Chains A and B, each alone.
Chain A
Amino acid sequence: MSQALIELVKQSFPDAVLESHSQLGDDTLVLAPGRWKEVCRFLKDHEQSSMNMLIDLTAVDFPNREPRFEVVAHLYSLDRGHRLRLKTRVGDRDGETVELDTIADLWGSANWLERECYDLFGVTFVGHPDLRRILLYPEFDGHPLRKDYPAERIQPLLQYRDEPNINKVAPFGPDEGMPFGRQTHKFGIEGEDDHLAPRPRVITPADN
């Protein structure tokens, strides 16, 4: 429980902290987006906090809220063993301009984490050295983890084969049976072929 951390940030940046809570053992601070980098740098350098590890950086999409995205960072201090969750809310309803300052110059892990956030959510990190897609291919259009991107919308990179009924080729089409030209062992089902599944056992209450 690091209430002390929350108090420290609140005292040093009284106007940057919008909310704070401690639930289930996690301490959370919600910051104003304009002060994101300042507070992160403070937490990293100050000796009482000394957050030398950025554990995770991600976003959550709340399409009914304005601002829409909530960027969440988890910080950890190896020396002191305390954790903190920082959140900030950015982005307009359409998801067109979603911008936040980068923290890639503070922690090396933010480089790829912010790239992933950009890839899957479309959050642009201002000042990032190399903001491009990381998990998806560059030709992909859209940001799949947003709630308005349907999961089944496929953007194939390669043209599918020109087969008639391509969705019905094997293994969905007619399939081949066994045995295939050699002796097969019969495993105890009398009078039936090997390629049929065994009949299920009926479960009675006495079995349990």
Chain B
Amino acid sequence: MEPLDQDLDASELELPTEPMLLNVGPAHPAMHGTVRIVMELSGEVIERCDVQVGYLHRGFEKMCERGNWTQVFPYADRLNYVSPMLNNVGFSLACEKLLGVTVPERCQWYRMILGEMARISDHLTCDGAMAMELGAFTPFLWMIKCREMVWEVMEEETGARMTHSFGRIGGMAAPPTDGFKDHVRAVVAHIMQVLGEVERLLLGNRIFLDRLENVGVISAEDAISLGWTGPCLRAAGVPYDVRKAHPYMKYGEVDFDVPVGTNSDSFDRFMVRIAEMRQSARIIEQCLERMPDSGPVNVDDPRIILPPKNEVYNTIEGTIQHFKIVMEGVKLPAGEVYGYTEAGNGEFGFYLVSDGSGTPYRVRIRPPCFLVTAGLERVITGQMMADVVPSFGSLNMIGGECDR
């Protein structure tokens, strides 16, 4: 045996040189249960990786072709299930674009308020989960507590905490409740306070910053070429927000800023979401001031909106209207349209093809986080294994939207 103090030349040893194949399988907490990454590691560094999605492909687009247009709403809810109201509103807007109707003003403000609350809930979940995966459990619990308050508002308004299916073509399923404005104001004020506490807790922590800064960097050109939108693109320095670039509903009339990052790392993606929550609170405040307290919420069109129940039971026109809408469904005219909004993850579009019967011919969702996850390979190649956790968490891959 050689003496132990003699240095061995690496070439004399028979060391295995092929890279190690590691399967970070779908059943993994950091992968949120639905993404599989097969990576080739050289030590801790990822040389190549193959991101496999589709572990939550539920056949959304095929299911839509079997019902009528209103029956798409429950499926749409379960796309980006952390901010279901934004999906509902997006689909309603796309259908209304095809129909050529505009909902009344009160409905637009109402949709905006509920949509921004859903966006706050989305960013709370993303940032909370990211912090938890790095070991900071307390901010996660605080953010989930805030999310519970948002869900309480949703429950008062829609009846369900999460997947409410509240949007309708031509309006909403029910008008706002009486205490809506006060409730929302109290909740948003509390959330902003908790956000301040979370920032004080996390942003001074050296370990948290070291794990996120300069980790998972992607250049702006790559991000644009990959079709990224939303907070991930804004963290890369590109100030593209559908609400500012192509305003819809009343977003052109409210004042808000678009937070943009500089380094395009995971820390920027984290901070962009926190800043966006503050901007959403600003939007909500302005909408609450300007939303009228009375007035119709649904479009006054008997072909698309269900009549009130006393008319259904007492007048023949109401009965016929109710019957036609429920049994045959809302009939969108033949044609195609691409309607897009800013959802929690970016430009969330619906490409609808209608043949004039009540059944959708093709409902295509343009999923923002599918394309963001396509960029995951570029983000984590060259990083260490432990950097995958915050990088992936900062992209906010939501399985329902990515795989549909």
Contacts and interface: CB of A to CB of B under 8 A. Distances in A.
A and B touch in the complex (CB under 8 A): yes
A53 B54 contact: no
Contacts of A74: 338, 349, 351, 366
Contacts of A109: 225-227, 371, 374
Interface string A14-29: 0000000001111010
Given A54-B227, A136-B57, A72 B310 contact: no
Contacts of B97: 24-25
Given A53-B224, A58-B364, A108 B351 contact: no
A23 B335 contact: yes
A187 interface: no
A24 B94 CA distance: 11
B54 A208 contact: no
Interface string B313-344: 11000000000000000000001111000000
Interface residues of B, number: 45
Interface in B221-238: 222, 224-227, 238
The 8 closest A-B pairs by CB, nearest first: A109-B227, A135-B54, A205-B310, A112-B374, A108-B225, A135-B57, A108-B226, A56-B366
A188 interface: no
B190 interface: no
Interface of A: 23-26, 28, 52-56, 58, 60-61, 72, 74, 78, 81, 83, 85, 107-109, 111-113, 116, 120, 133-137, 144-145, 151, 203, 205, 208
26 contacts: A23-B335, A24-B98, A24-B335, A26-B337, A26-B338, A53-B224, A55-B227, A58-B351, A58-B364, A72-B351, A74-B338, A74-B351, A78-B224, A107-B227, A109-B225, A109-B226, A133-B54, A134-B54, A135-B53, A135-B57, A135-B404, A145-B62, A151-B62, A151-B66, A205-B313, A208-B308
Contacts of B66: 151
Contacts, number: 99
A203 B225 contact: no
A145 B225 CA distance: 27
Given A53-B227, A136-B54, A208-B310, A112 B349 contact: no
A137 B337 CA distance: 31
B62 A55 contact: no
By CB atoms of chain A within 10 A, which of B100, B227, B374 has the most?
Answer: B227
A52 B335 contact: no
Contact of B349 (A55, A78, A135): A55
A112 B226 CA distance: 9
A181 to B, nearest CB: 29
B227 A134 contact: no
A113 B225 CA distance: 13
Contacts of A116: 370
A56 B225 contact: no
B285 interface: no
Given A60-B353, A74-B338, A134-B54, A111 B310 contact: no
Contacts of B226: 107-109
The majority secondary structure among interface residues of chain B is mixed
Contacts of A112: 370-371, 374
A60 B246 CA distance: 26
Interface of B: 52-54, 57, 59, 61-63, 65-66, 97-98, 100, 222, 224-227, 238, 240, 245-246, 308-310, 313-314, 335-338, 347, 349, 351, 353, 361-362, 364, 366, 370-371, 374-375, 403-404
A78 B314 contact: no
Nearest to A147: B65
A133 B370 CA distance: 14
Contacts of A60: 353, 361-362, 364
Contacts of A23: 335-337
Given A135-B403, A145-B61, A151-B59, A78 B240 contact: yes
Given A74-B338, A109-B225, 10 more contacts: A26-B338, A60-B364, A109-B374, A111-B374, A112-B371, A120-B61, A135-B403, A145-B62, A203-B309, A205-B313
A56 B364 contact: yes
A137 B224 CA distance: 29
A134 B337 contact: no
A205 B309 CA distance: 7
B404 to A, nearest CB: 8
By CB atoms of chain B within 10 A, which of A58, A108, A136 has the most?
Answer: A108
Contacts of A25: 97
Nearest to B58: A135
Contacts of A113: 227, 371
A128 to B, nearest CB: 14
By CB atoms of chain A within 10 A, which of B65, B100, B238, B351 has the most?
Answer: B351
